[in-house]
Structure formats: C-alpha cells, structure tokens
Amino acid sequence: MDQLLMNSGFPILSVLIFLPLAGALLLIFVKSEQLCRYLALVVTSLVALLSLRLIAGFDITTAKFQFVEQHTWIKAFNINYIIGVDGISILLILLTTLIMPLCVLASWSYIKTRVQTFMACLLIMETAMIGVFVALDLVLFYILWEAMLIPMYLLIGIWGGPRKIYASIKFFLYTLAGSILLLVGIIWLYATNNYSFFIPGMMWQNYPITSQIYLFLAFFLAFAIKVPMFPFHTWLPAAHVEAPTAGSVILASILLKMGTYGFLRFALPITPEATVILMPYVLWLSIAGIIYGGFTALAQSDMKKLIAYSSVGHMGFVTLGIFVLNIRGIEGAILQMVNHGITTGALFLCVGMIYERTHSRELRSATGVGKYMPIYITFLAFFSLSSFGFPGTNSFVGEFMIIAGAFQFDTVLHKFPYLALASIPGAVLAAAYMLRMLQKIIWGGTNNPDQSWITDLNSREIVVLAPFLFFVLWIGLGPQPFIDLMHTSVTQLLQQFDAHQAHSIAAAGSLFQ
C-alpha cells in the first residue's frame, strides 16, 4: 500500500467518475431535446473544469498514485473501490474530460433523432472511460472496460452510417472476444496474489516465467485488439467509418488509448520478463502496423477510412515507443497517445463537418472547397500537418521522441538501427496520404463538383475546433510541462523494470540477430 498517496480530502476522482453518470440518469427526466443537449454540455464542461483541479494538485515529484480513494466494495472477494492517478494516466484523464464537451458540441446539429439516448450514451461512456484510467482494482477496471462496450455499441448501431449493424456487431464481438482471456488472467492473478485484486500489489512479483508468458499473451490479445495493432485492426475501419462523428472521435481519441495504457499499466509491470522475451515480436508487429496503415491509407477514397487507417499507423508508433523500453520511447509514446487523441479527433471532426454539408464521406465530393471554406481549411491544414508530424506541431515531438527511443534501443542492442530505419517509411507515408487528402480538399482538380453553395464553419464549429488547434501548437512548441507530468512515473517504471531485467534484455537481443 506504500504506492498510494492520499493528497486530497475532496474525492475529486469519484466526482469525475460519477458526475456524468448522474447526468445520464437526470437525462431520463428531460423531455425537450434542446434541454438534453444543454444538460450534457453543462455536465461534461463541469467535469472538464473539475479535472483541471487534478493538475493543480498533482505532485510531479512522486511516482506514487495520487488522489487515492479507497473503499471496500465486495468483501467476500476482497474487491475494493480503489482509484488513483499517476503520471501515466493523468494526461489521458485530462484528454478524456476535455474532449467530451467538444463531442457534445460537435453532435449539436448532427444528431437529430433520439437526442436523449445519444447524450446519455456519451455521458455513460465518459464515466466508464475515466474509470478505466483511474481504476486500481482489477475487477473495477474490468467491469468498466467491458461496460464501455454497451454505450459504444449503441452509438455506432443507432446513429451510424449505412453499414452500422455490421460495424457495431463486429466492434462488440472483436473487443469482447479479446478481453475474455483477460478475465481468466485476472482470476489467475487474484489466486496467485493472496486473493487480492489490488493492481499495484501485483506488479513486480516475479511470477514464474511460463505463467508470465501466458499472462502476457492474455493481456496482449485484449490490448492489441483495442489499440488496434496489426493484424487485429480490422474492426477499426468499419467502426470508424460507420460511427457518428462524436463516436469516431471518442473511439480514436480515447478508446484506442486504453489498449496502449493497458500495456503500460499491466503488461510491463506485471509481466516484465515475458515482456522482454516477446518484445521483438511486438516491435515488428508495430512496424508492420506503421507501414501497413500508411499504405492502406494512401489507397482510400473515403476520408473517414483514410483517417482510420492512419490511426493504425500512428498507434503503431505508440506501441513501438512503449516496447523499446527506454525513457524516450515511453515518454514519447504517452505524449503520442495524447497527440493522436488531439489530432485524429480533430480530423474526424473536420470530416464530420464536411459530411454534414455534402452528406458524403467520399474525397471526390469534397474536392475544391478551399475557395469557399477558408476557415475550415485553415484548421484542416494544421491538423493534417500535425498528423504527419510536421515540426512545430504536437505529433512531431511525440514521433521524434519515439524514433529517438528506437535509435537508442538499436544502438544498445546491435549497433545498427534496424528498427528506427524500418519505421521511417511510415512517417513518409503519413506525409503522402495526408498531403494528398489536403490537396484534394483545398484545390482538387479540373472536375471539381460545384461547391459554391457550401458555407464555411459557423461559430459553434469554430469553438469546437479551436481548443484542438491550441493544444496542437502548445504541445508542438512547448511540450515540457506535459513531459514533466509523466516523467517521474515513467522513470520509476523503467527503474523497476531494469532492476528486474538487467540480464534478460541482453538475452532478448539475440533474438534480433
């Protein structure tokens, strides 16, 4: 229990978790659609404001879990309600709380049917997502992790595009099937750890190596599907394409992060030896994802699909950063998780705004709008540049750190940067497909459809996009405060890891040659 720190009398995390849920319950009694929208906006904004308190009270000099709350929940199984934040999760929580009000705003006019249910789904999602990031009890984590599927399924299945049925069921089945073995792993951990589900208590326990490998594989299946890593990515394009804009944004910005968060929170500390043994495979899968995502995105004519495949590539960078297992890589990965959330979320919003006007996601029908939508393409240009890691934008910092980490990993192991070199084409491909999209949308060609009727962004849409741009530039130009937040936790994670691993890293190196 020494990993916990109670530095706040006010149960801020519980408030963040339960406020949206209370909002969702309140929605049941609201009859007017407009009132539903306002209520959801107020609740999510309130949560966002309250979450800022986390930064104010966060102590960056300790790697312990902070703002901890602890209550007995189910005594017979020693299940407790324990929640806390550390440097790894704090940015993801803030990302979640800050994006949700924007999702509500983005759905303001897009969602016309069953507004009440829609907003309730969004709010329940928020509860579950924040809960997943702060849960320090495995059962609590698993319950929220699974419970998230229901509102997300409904978001895609009810308000989705033409193939929503196929996409929503595929999403549900894929993710559920992935986390089934996670449940078995959780029960194994429970039985092995003196019947306790306390997550920090399970870390660094020197489990037998074969158990670790099975456990790692169970974790891997669940998290790799969520990330999604190549070759478990096939649900993602379907889900992204069919989901309504807010659904796509939540999916891209937050849900995908849960997979990589899972690797950092569970796979590394609980199964360190297995991580080292299986690391090469994960790394090469990441590289495969980067390249595959890039090439596939290049071939898309559907804007949402293009961004969905680009996500596969970007998330490949994140897993690459995590599994090179050095400070630059992991910090870069966490930063890149946030960056991807911001940039891809914003890109989905941009596509959604075009879709609201042209009712098509085809690149063909959106060509040449630059002349009529100057504000829109300004935003779009920034986000596109950010997406392929243009210097000065947020993704540049993240990708740079990850590739630097990969170089460092290579030099420690075998003098030649196989891994870093292999990931470079991904960055080039990203530039190619984003610029292609940008070029077509802004200028297009000689046979552009007539776009003169199209209207530029209204003030609500500008309000939605502006915060994203703010963070794109802030993280791009001054990333230090963000890295400071995570630095102590990541250092601590790696120290513990190295203490366990000093010898096995070298052994694993031989797998590469």
Partner 1 sequence: MLFLPELTLLGVGLVFFFLSLGEPSSAKVKNVAIALSALVVLVTLMCLKSEGELFYKAYRVDFFSQLFKFLIALATLIVLIFSDQLPGVKEKIQSEYYLFLFVAVLGLMMLVSSVELLAIFVSLELSSFAVYIMVPLRNKASGAGTQVEAGIKYLLFGVMATGFMLFGMSYIFGLTGSTQLFVIADKLNLSSTQPAAVVAIVLVLAGFFYKLALFPLHFWVPDVYEGAANETTAFIAAVPKLAAVALLIRIVALINTETEVIVNILVVCALLSMFYGNLSALVQKDAKRLLGFSGIAHAGFVLVGLLTLENTGYAAAMYYIIGYVFMNLACFLVICTVSDKGRNVAIEDFTGLHKRAPLLAITLTVGLFALAGIPPFVGFYGKFQLLVEAFKQGHLLLVILAAVNTAIAIYYYLSIVRVTFCTDSENRGAIISSRKNNVLSVLLIVIIIVMGVLPSKFMELTTTAVQAVM
Q: Which parts of this chain interact with partner 1 (CB under 8 A)?
A: 73-77, 114, 117, 139, 142-144, 146-147, 149-150, 153-154, 157-158, 164-165, 168-169, 172-173, 176-177, 180-181, 183-184, 187-188, 190-191
Cβ 149 vs Cβ 225: under 8 Å? no
Q: Work out how close the CB of 241 gets to partner 1 at its nearest, in angstroms, rounded to a whole number.
A: 16
Q: Backbone phi, then psi, for 83, in 5-degree steps?
A: -130, 150
Written as one string, the DSSP assignment of 136-201 is: -BHHHHHHHHHHTHHHHHHHHHHH--TTHHHHHHHHHHHHHHHHHHHHHHHHHHHHHTTS--BHHH
Considering the complex, state which of residue 240 and residue 314 has its C-beta at the smaller distance from partner 1.
240
The set of residues, in sequence order, having a beta carbon less than 8 Å from that of 421 and lying 6+ positions away, is: none
Residues 78 and 142: their CA atoms lie apart, in Å, by 15
Q: Work out how close the CB of 31 gets to partner 1 at its nearest, in angstroms, rounded to a whole number.
A: 13
Q: Work out how close the CB of 11 gets to partner 1 at its nearest, in angstroms, rounded to a whole number.
A: 18
Considering the complex, state which of residue 37 and residue 164 has its C-beta at the smaller distance from partner 1.
164
Considering the complex, state which of residue 50 and residue 143 has its C-beta at the smaller distance from partner 1.
143
Considering the complex, state which of residue 28 and residue 56 has its C-beta at the smaller distance from partner 1.
28
Considering the complex, state which of residue 6 and residue 187 has its C-beta at the smaller distance from partner 1.
187
How many Cβ atoms are within 10 Å of 206's Cβ, its own excluded? 9
Alpha-carbon dihedral sign for residues 456, 386, 322, 68:
negative
Q: Work out how close the CB of 184 gets to partner 1 at its nearest, in angstroms, rounded to a whole number.
A: 5
Residues 352 and 457: their CA atoms lie apart, in Å, by 12
Q: Work out how close the CB of 181 gets to partner 1 at its nearest, in angstroms, rounded to a whole number.
A: 7
Considering the complex, state which of residue 163 and residue 364 has its C-beta at the smaller distance from partner 1.
163
Alpha-carbon dihedral sign for residues 188, 192, 193, 194:
positive
Interhelix angle for 272-298 vs 303-323, to 10°? 150
Q: Work out how close the CB of 141 gets to partner 1 at its nearest, in angstroms, rounded to a whole number.
A: 11
Considering the complex, state which of residue 58 and residue 142 has its C-beta at the smaller distance from partner 1.
142
Considering the complex, state which of residue 220 and residue 317 has its C-beta at the smaller distance from partner 1.
220
- 123 burial via Cβ count (<10 Å: 0-12, 13-18, 19+): buried
Q: Work out how close the CB of 191 gets to partner 1 at its nearest, in angstroms, rounded to a whole number.
A: 6
Q: Work out how close the CB of 65 gets to partner 1 at its nearest, in angstroms, rounded to a whole number.
A: 23
Pairing of strands 79-85, 66-74: antiparallel
Question: Whats the size of the chain, residue-wise?
Answer: 513
End-to-end distance of the chain based on CA atoms, in angstroms?
Answer: 42
Q: Work out how close the CB of 299 gets to partner 1 at its nearest, in angstroms, rounded to a whole number.
A: 30
Interhelix angle for 12-27 vs 115-134, to 10°? 160
Q: Where are the beta strands (DSSP E) in 1-78?
A: 66-74
Interhelix angle for 33-57 vs 87-106, to 10°? 160
Cβ 182 vs Cβ 221: under 8 Å? yes
Q: Work out how close the CB of 33 gets to partner 1 at its nearest, in angstroms, rounded to a whole number.
A: 15
Considering the complex, state which of residue 77 and residue 416 has its C-beta at the smaller distance from partner 1.
77
The set of residues, in sequence order, having a beta carbon less than 8 Å from that of 262 and lying 6+ positions away, is: 219, 222, 223, 226
Considering the complex, state which of residue 198 and residue 400 has its C-beta at the smaller distance from partner 1.
198
Q: Work out how close the CB of 355 gets to partner 1 at its nearest, in angstroms, rounded to a whole number.
A: 20
Which stretches of 445-479 are DSSP H helices?
A: 459-477
Q: Backbone phi, then psi, for 135, in 5-degree steps?
A: -65, 130
Considering the complex, state which of residue 186 and residue 346 has its C-beta at the smaller distance from partner 1.
186
Whether the ω angle into residue 272 lies within 30 degrees of 0, i.e. cis, is no
Q: Work out how close the CB of 144 gets to partner 1 at its nearest, in angstroms, rounded to a whole number.
A: 8
Q: Work out how close the CB of 68 gets to partner 1 at its nearest, in angstroms, rounded to a whole number.
A: 21
The tokens of 477 are what? 């130009």
Find the largest Cα–Cα distance for the chain.
71
Is residue 423 classed as helix, strand or coil in its secondary structure?
helix
Considering the complex, state which of residue 183 and residue 404 has its C-beta at the smaller distance from partner 1.
183
Which stretches of 359-417 are DSSP H helices?
A: 374-387, 394-414
Considering the complex, state which of residue 190 and residue 396 has its C-beta at the smaller distance from partner 1.
190
